[in-house]
Copies of this chain bind each other. A is one copy, B any other.
Amino acid sequence: MTAENLVLRAQCANAIRVLAMDAVQAAGSGHPGMPMGMADIAEALWRHRLRHDPADPRWIDRDRFVVSNGHGSMLLYALLHLSGYALPMDELRRFRQLHSRTPGHPETGVTPGVETTTGPLGQGIGNAVGMALAEKLLAEAFNRPGHSVIDHRTYVFLGDGCLMEGISHEVCSLAGTWRLNKLVAFYDDNGISIDGEVRGWFSDDTPGRFEAYGWTVLRDVDGHDAQALDAAIAQATTADRPVLVCCKTRIGKGSPNRAGTAKAHGEALGDAEIALTRQALGWSAPPFELPARVAQAWSARESGAALHAAWQARFDAYAQEYPALARELLRRHRSDAPLAEEAEAALASAAAAAQQRQAAVATRKASQQVLDEVGPAMPELIGGSADLTGSNLTDWKGHRALKGAGTGNHVHYGVREFGMAAVMNGLALHGGLRPFGGTFLTFSDYARNGVRMSALMKLPVIYVFTHDSIGLGEDGPTHQPVEHASSLRLIPNVDVWRPADATETAVAWRQALRRTDGPSCLLLSRQALPHAGGGERIEAIARGAYVLQRPEAESVALLASGSEVGVALVAAAMLAEDGIAARVVSVPCLDVFERQSADWRHAVIPRHLPRLAVEAGSTGLWWKLVGEHGDVVGLDGFGESAPAGELFRLFGITAEAVAERARRLLAGATRAGAKEPA
C-alpha cells in the first residue's frame, strides 16, 4: 500500500471521527468515544470488504452489518452517509432530534441501512447470530450447484459491555456450536466502560473464552493499523468457524485529552477539545462538510451498483433454471406479504378441525396440532425451544432438528431463553424465515427485553410460552407464572393470546402468523382444557374477545381467558341453577380487543351488567374491563408446589368460588349505592 493511500485511508477514518464528534456536540449529548475508537476498523471493513448497495438497503444478498454497541450510532450514521445511503448530511446535523433519521441509538425501519435496533447491550450480537444462521439455512435451502444466490456475511461491532452481558455467552456459544463461519465480530478492546477502566470488574481472558466456544480468534490486532486490519479481515473471511477479531483500540482516538478515558464514552467533547482534535487530526473542514477527495473516496454507490448487478445477473440465471425456487425466495423475503393461500387453508382447516373435534386438550398440544397442519404449508417456519421441546410441544410432525453444524427447521436453543429471543429477532430481521420458539411462561422473564425488542422493531416473532399458570403444578412458585400474562400485555405492540381451547389456539396461531408488524405471545396450558363451545366463532375470536354464552335476561357477565373460560362456563351453569343468568365472555387477547371499536367492545362487555373477570394471574389489568363496581378473581401472590387441582382450589379459582363471587357481586350491586369490597 502506498503512503499516499494510507494517508487517504486515515483521512477517511477521520471523517467518521469528525462527523461523530460534531454531531454529538450539536446534539449536546451522545457517544463520541466508540465511533472515534472504531473508525479505522470501520474504514477497513466498509471501504474494502463490505458487499452492499447503498441504493438498495434491502438487497437480499447484501452483507449484514450490526453495531451491537449501539451507543456508537454516529459511527453507523457516518458510514451510511459517507457510503451514499439516503441519509443526507442534514440528518446528521439533526442527530438525536425529534423525528430525525438519526436517533440516539440505531433503529431499523427509521434509517435506511440500519439492519437492527441496538442499544440494549448484548442483543446486537444475538441478532447477528440469528442473521448468520438465516444465511446458512437459506443458502442450504436455495443455492444449487453452480448457483450461489445466497452468499453473504454478517459483521458485528461490539464492545466490553456486550461481552459482559450474559446474553453474549448464550449466543456466542450457539454460534460456535453451529459453526457460523460467515459471522465476523470485531471486539473494540479499549479497556474502558462507563464506570472507568474495566480491569476492576472485567478481567476475562476474552480470546480464551471465545476459543472455548469454538470460535477462531484473532488476537491483538492493532485497531488503528489499516494494514493489520486488512490482514485480519482477509483471514477472518476464510475461517471455517465464527471469528472474533480482537482489536486493541483507544476510545475517543483523536481527541488529545479525552482519548483513552471514560469521559470520552458518553459526552460531547466540548468546543475547545473539538478544536484541539481537529488540529491533531489535521482536519480543517468545518462541521458537517467533507473534503471532496474524502467524500469521493467513501462513496460506494458505484461499487455497490456493480456488486448488485452482478448478483442480479446470477439470480436471473438461477431464476431461469429454477423458476419456482427463485419465486419462492423472493416471496419469502417480502416481509409484509399476506400468508400464502396454502397456509391460510391449513390454518382454516386446523381451526375447523378443532371446532369439530370438541376435544378436551391442553392448548400446548392443540398448538402442536396446528403446527402439524400449517408446518408443511409454510416452509419459512423455523421453530425451536429453549431446552423444553417436549414440554412446549414445538416439535411438530415435520420438524427436523438443527443440531450442531447441521441444518433443519427446529432449533434446540439449549437453556438460553434470552439468546433465543435475540436470535429469533435476527432470523426475522434477515428475512426469508418466520421464527417461533418456546419456553415456560415464567421464563419469559429471562427473555423479556428480547420480546420488547421484537415489539419495538415490529418483528412478527412468535413466542410459544407454555405452562401458563399455577396449572403447572408441582414444580412450584419458581415455575408458576402469576404476573407474566399481564406484564407481557403491558409491552407496547405485543399481542398476548391466552386461548381457552383448541379452536381459540388455532385462531391465535392464525392471527400471529398473519401479523407482519409485531410479535405475538401464545400462552398455553400444560393441562387439558375443555372445548369452550360451538357456533361460528372463528372471526369473533380473532377480535380478541367475544360472547361465548348469552342467556336471556342476563344479570351478570363473567369474563375469562384461557383455562378460566371453562371455569366461568361451569360457574355460569351453577348460577343458572340459582336463576341467575350469566353472560360468558372469552377474552383470548386483551391487546387485540382494545384495538376494536368502542361499539364492539361495549357490545361484548356491556357496561350495564355487573362484571366479574377470572384469570389465574394478576388482577390489575382487568379492572379496566369490570369497572370499580365489578370484581376480579385471580392471583396476586406467588403460587405453591402441589398438584394443580389442589392449587386452583387453594387459590379460589374454581367454578364454585367464581359463582359465589358473582352472587356477592350481584348482592352488592342491588344494594343502593354499590360498595367496593374492602
Contacts and interface: CB of A to CB of B under 8 A. Distances in A.
Contacts of A478: 70, 105, 107, 117-120, 453, 456
A476 interface: yes
Interface in A82-107: 96-100, 103-105, 107
Contacts of A490: 483, 486-487, 490, 618, 620
Contacts of A486: 487, 490, 620
Given A203-B214, A212-B205, A640-B103, A474 B30 contact: yes
A673 to B, nearest CB: 10
Interface stretch (A165-173, A275-283, A333-341): A165-173
A164 B419 CA distance: 10
Given A96-B641, A641-B104, A27 B474 contact: yes
Interface string A470-491: 0001111111001100110111
A492 B455 CA distance: 25
Contacts of A70: 478
On chain A, which size bracket covers the interface? 35 or more
Number of copies: 2
Interface in A185-202: 193-196, 198-202
Interface in A102-155: 103-105, 107, 117-122
A409 to B, nearest CB: 15
Contacts of A643: 96-98
A446 interface: yes
A676 interface: yes
A413 interface: yes
A517 to B, nearest CB: 13
Contacts of A493: 637-638
Contacts of A390: 194-195
A166 B122 CA distance: 10
A624 interface: yes
B103 A414 contact: no
Most chain-B Cβ atoms within 10 A of its Cβ — which of A99, A164, A401, A492?
Answer: A164
B416 A166 contact: yes
B120 A443 contact: yes
A641 B453 CA distance: 16
Contacts of A196: 412
B164 A173 contact: yes
A468 interface: no
Contacts of A414: 164, 193, 195, 198, 201-202
Interface string A196-233: 10111111111011011110000000000000000000
A598 interface: yes
A469 interface: no
A627 interface: yes
Contacts of A105: 475-476, 478-479, 641
Given A201-B174, A211-B208, A478-B119, A29 B195 contact: no
Given A404-B203, A479-B105, A650-B98, A637 B492 contact: yes
Most chain B beta carbons < 10 A, residue from A176, A473, A474, A641: A641
A550 interface: no
A312 to B, nearest CB: 35
Contacts of A455: 638
Interface in A525-544: none
A483 B475 contact: no
Contacts of A397: none
A126 to B, nearest CB: 10
Contacts of A203: 173, 176-177, 214, 404
A642 to B, nearest CB: 4
A37 B194 CA distance: 44
A591 to B, nearest CB: 10
B166 A419 contact: yes
A449 interface: yes
A587 B128 CA distance: 43
Interface stretch (A381-389, A500-508, A554-562): A381-389
Contact of A476 (B107, B489, B637): B107
A205 B201 contact: no
A99 to B, nearest CB: 7
Contact of A477 (B107, B403, B483): B107
Contacts of A412: 195-196, 200-201
A668 interface: no
A671 to B, nearest CB: 15
Contact of A29 (B166, B206, B473): B473
A504 B479 CA distance: 35
Contacts of A49: none
24 contacts: A98-B641, A103-B477, A104-B474, A104-B476, A104-B479, A104-B641, A105-B641, A119-B475, A120-B442, A121-B415, A161-B415, A165-B416, A166-B418, A177-B201, A194-B389, A195-B385, A195-B412, A195-B414, A204-B213, A206-B212, A209-B213, A443-B449, A448-B448, A453-B478
The 7 A-B residue pairs whose C-beta atoms are closest, nearest first, are: A166-B166, A200-B403, A103-B641, A169-B169, A119-B478, A98-B642, A208-B212
Interface of A: 27, 29-30, 70-71, 96-100, 103-105, 107, 117-122, 160-162, 164-170, 173-174, 176-177, 193-196, 198-206, 208-209, 211-214, 385, 387-391, 401, 403-404, 412-416, 418-419, 442-443, 445-446, 448-449, 452-453, 455-456, 473-479, 482-483, 486-487, 489-493, 597-598, 602, 607, 618, 620-621, 623-624, 627-628, 636-638, 640-643, 646-647, 650, 676, 678
Given A206-B212, A208-B209, 6 more contacts: A96-B643, A166-B419, A203-B404, A205-B214, A445-B448, A483-B491
